[in-house]
Structure 1
């Protein structure tokens, strides 16, 4: 009883924007209040929310939206406000967003510079067809192209990562005259028919059978049969070409770090070996940077750069617009010319509002040194997560780069048995204490830690304290 009273006293003394949720106060009854983490201070209070409550929104969603939509938590959060690395629910309670960065937000929720760019452009012009000129589109294309190595300098704008990957695969097929494309098992490339076929997550909802699509052995350093020997995994691509195709392919598509697949960084040496094989077969390499791109890995602006390769086509989206729907395909002038043989047109891809947002994102990343922050804070967070691994047997693996990190939970380290139920309990406990984190991986047992790039060391410490407590309660 004394612990409950102490907890209530602590709860009532904290300003509303820093409080735990009511459900957290109940959940925290199982936690020693003297070690209950307090969120770092943040100088922002959202305006009062007067809209419908969570229960009413759930009712409407269940009646009018797709039944395939799922929720992260037993009691879904009604998020009504956001500022930088924090989100606020219908009662004004603040949550540290350790996941939304990969979803859309690279620079922080409602970043003032990006909001201003969107508003200013919206006031002037929202949507002329690309058959007219507008400087916002060309300016962002030039700025984006400057971030790429080699001859990657021609940009096609799309509305999403799915659309970008669909376009990239079509370009590869038109350019090579081949239909066969190889992707990596456990990957995720989108939600349209072609990109779902490339996704290759067997037994998952994303896989759709597509002709000409081949799935190579995943170079999984944690569960794979060859460990970190990337070139051994690459042999499977050779065999697919030798025995599964005519000897030629249109291309190979891969993430440098599998996001939905559980923040799985491809084994060293894999991509260079595959590139050589694909080139011999006349194909193009497509680097899917939808999740790892835009400085998220810290060490490099693009994930593929850490592997010492230069792709033929690069796709990006999500954080490119900091919440605004925009994607891009970047390739060489030679490859880009093949679309003059087809009637390709995109009504909204590259509209002035979205490109103004994208250009503002690049400026903010540079102005606020967010790539360096991703490296410094991400490296610190990864080191501390490894320390937690020494403390908690349920942590089987810690991996990733920068602010794209994964923590895989297992009930048996030797057998690597996925802790599928345990991770759900941990996520609920972390949410109750004010931290939102994602999950993924083939078995759904991997924490996906992908916050906005403005995530601070103080945020990392709070996150670590919360995860430590959550794992101790399993």
Structure 2
């Protein structure tokens, strides 16, 4: 790999400044130009190799340039690339059939589109059509897309590009047991954050809002994992008021949590579920799925030009096959447990780690100062050093102080040990 083939990071940044809208930032003070990927590894324009612990933000669950998936994808490109789903092809109906099999409960009918934002938007549309009510309840610190409505239901200020949200949206406390918005402790709290949803419905809505939306694990909020019985309590409340439960699995879907979908860890079946990212393992595809009873009310014309595209649908089928054949759910459970146990051992040595949380291979380590306040500047410094040593790790959180581990689900026991050892070394060197 010769660096002269590539224009390099500095030239890319200059072109970004000139030709890309300034809303798009990038990680790192000294970013690399990524030019090659293979399973859990990346290479930059200088030939440097990295262990990827972020998977393009929960996209490459089956690994970069996975040869088994690419083989099927390439064969489809050679045969038929696109005709739009207003014509008959079998790829997308076969994928819809497979999704009905692997999703929880009686979720059955899908609508395909290209991005997570589109899937969320479509889910809201379906809920409004079915219930006759467009009011939405969302969680503080959730993130649900980059459309006008998706941003309006996003409870993170930094992702609210438009300061004027759509009306009819109400926010409930998010279930963050480390930084409880209600200043309570679990389990003595008796799910006070869930109970607050009923108070909100009674006091601030029409009394029967159309939908409540939540990520099973709040990704951009800092890998926030609700306590075990949270969603059951929420579903009980929503059912009393004829409000649909929309679960956003855009980051958590497709084996990341140790189950095919993270909501399965909570023994709850949503009324509508959104998915994207890992479904295509890098190919653009998303969907929302619902029960036949709800989905069958969506009868007025609707289409998505690239939704169910033959290439993306074929790729998604290959992804689902790969997850099952290579036991990625089991690996996510095993490696996720190993990672969290290792992080908790580091937490005992390094007080900068205030909390460790996660499910499967979606895990966060929250960086704090001695007084417990968020320490994003320390995290940024540590991530920069880890990058220089060959480890790509993400960050998220309300204050951008959570080290985020969302790697390809093909990582090995040795990979996890390597990243834990590197983190330990950096924190020790910096006396953190």
Is 2:90 the partner of 1:131? no
Taking the TM superposition and a 5 Å limit, the aligned residue runs for 1:93-242 are: 93-100=48-55, 102-202=57-157, 204-205=159-160, 208=163, 209-224=165-180, 225-228=183-186, 229=189, 231-242=191-202
Q: RMSD over aligned Cα, in angstroms? A: 1.4
Specify which of 355, 358, 361 is matched with residue 316 of structure 2.
358
Aligned residues: 425
Q: How does 1:24-423 map to 2 (within 5 A)?
A: 50-100=5-55, 102-202=57-157, 204-205=159-160, 208=163, 209-224=165-180, 225-228=183-186, 229=189, 231-298=191-258, 300-340=259-299, 342-412=300-370, 415-423=371-379
1:6 — aligned with what?
none
* C-alpha deviation, 1:49, in angstroms: 6.3
Q: Does the residue aligned with 2:83 lie in a helix, a strand or coil?
A: coil
1:74 & 1:48 partners in 2: Cα distance?
Answer: 20
Cα 1:293–1:462 change in 2 (3 A) is: same
Other structure's SS at 1:416 match: coil
1:129 deviates by 2.1
Which residue matches 2:401? 445
Q: Does 1:435 align with 2:391?
A: yes
* 1:389-444 superposed Cα distances (whole Å, 9 cap, x missing partner): 001010000000111000000012xx421011100100011001100111000010
- Asked which structure has the greater CA Rg, the reply is 1
Find the residue that maps to 1:349 and give its secondary structure: coil
SS in 2 for 1:61: helix
Tell me how far apart the structure 2 counterparts of residues 226 and 124 of structure 1 sit (CA, whole Å). 58
The change in CA–CA distance for 1:201 and 1:429 in structure 2 (over 3 A counts) is: same
SS of 2:198 mapped into structure 1: helix
Deviation at 1:185?
0.4
**Deviations along 1:339-368, whole A, 9 cap, x unmatched?**
10x221111111100001100000111111
Paired with 1:344 and 1:285, the residues of 2 have a C-alpha distance of: 22
Deviation at 1:230, TM superposition (A): 5.8
In structure 2, distance between residues paired with 1:140 and 1:345: 17
Match of 2:412 in 1: 456
Give the 3-state SS of the residue equivalent to 2:351 in structure 1: coil
- The two structures have a TM-score, normalised by structure 2, of 0.96
Report the equivalent of 2:421.
Answer: 465
Cα 1:63–1:213, aligned 2, differ >3 Å: closer, same or farther?
same
- Residues 194, 53 of structure 1: alpha-carbon distance in 2 compared, 3 angstrom cutoff: same
CA contact (8 A) 1:84 1:108 kept: yes
Q: CA, structure 1 residues 147+230, in 2 after alignment: closer, same or farther (shift >3 Å)?
A: farther
- 1:205 Cα deviation from its structure 2 partner: 3.9
Which moves more between the two structures, 259-268 or 423-432? 259-268
Q: CA deviation at 1:266?
A: 1.3
Give every structure 1 segment of 4 or more consecutive aligned residues whose post-TM-superposition deviation is greater than 6 Å. none
Question: Shift of the alpha carbon at 1:176?
Answer: 0.3
Structure 1: runs of 5+ lacking an equivalent? 1-45
* Deviation sequence 1:212-270 (CA, Å, 0-9, x none): 11110111110102233462111211111101011111010001111111000013322
Q: 1:206 Cα deviation (Å)?
A: 5.2
- Structure 2 residue aligned with 1:43: none
Distance 2:345 2:329 in 1: 24
Is the Cα–Cα contact under 8 Å of residues 201 and 207 in structure 2 kept in the other structure? yes
CA positional deviation for 1:103 = 3.8
For residues 66 and 102 of structure 1, what CA distance do their matches in structure 2 show? 21
The whole-number CA distance in structure 2 between the counterparts of 1:196 and 1:161 is: 12
TM-score, normalised to structure 1's length? 0.87
Gap regions ≥5 residues in structure 2: none
User: 1:174: Cα distance to partner?
Assistant: 1.0
Q: Which residues in structure 2 correspond to 1:12-31 (within 5 Å)?
A: none
Instruction: Output the CA distance in 2 between the equivalents of 1:103 and 1:292.
Output: 7
CA contact (8 A) 2:253 2:261 kept: yes
Tell me if the contact between 1:181 and 1:251 (Cα under 8 Å) persists in the aligned partners.
yes
Looking at structure 2, the residues matched to 205 and 434 of structure 1 have their Cα atoms a distance apart, in angstroms, of 33
- Contact 1:249–1:278 (CA<8 Å) still a contact in 2? no
